[in-house]
Amino acid sequence: MLLFSCESKHPLAEKLCNCYTQLHRAQEEQEQLFWTDSCNVLYIEILKELENQESEQLKFQKAYSRCQ
């Protein structure tokens, strides 16, 4: 059980989830726009980074889906 919970984490997924957490906390429109753009750019960068790493893509997607 402990190994499963450790495997369900992925540093890039956590980074993206933290970005979206900041977006949901933002109260002013300008701040919301900033975090929306930042999270979208981060997501694209992550996808590009993992483009040729199928097993890492799967780990990322699983971890990301858990924090949504």
Q: What pLDDT tens digit does each residue of the chain (68 aa) get?
A: 334 444 578 999 999 999 999 999 999 999 999 999 999 999 999 999 999 999 999 999 999 999 87
Q: Torsions phi, psi of 38, nearest 5?
A: -60, -45
* pTM of the complete model: 0.82
Give residue for tokens 């984490």. Answer: 9
Contacts made by residues 19-22, CB under 8 angstroms, sequence distance 24+: 20/68
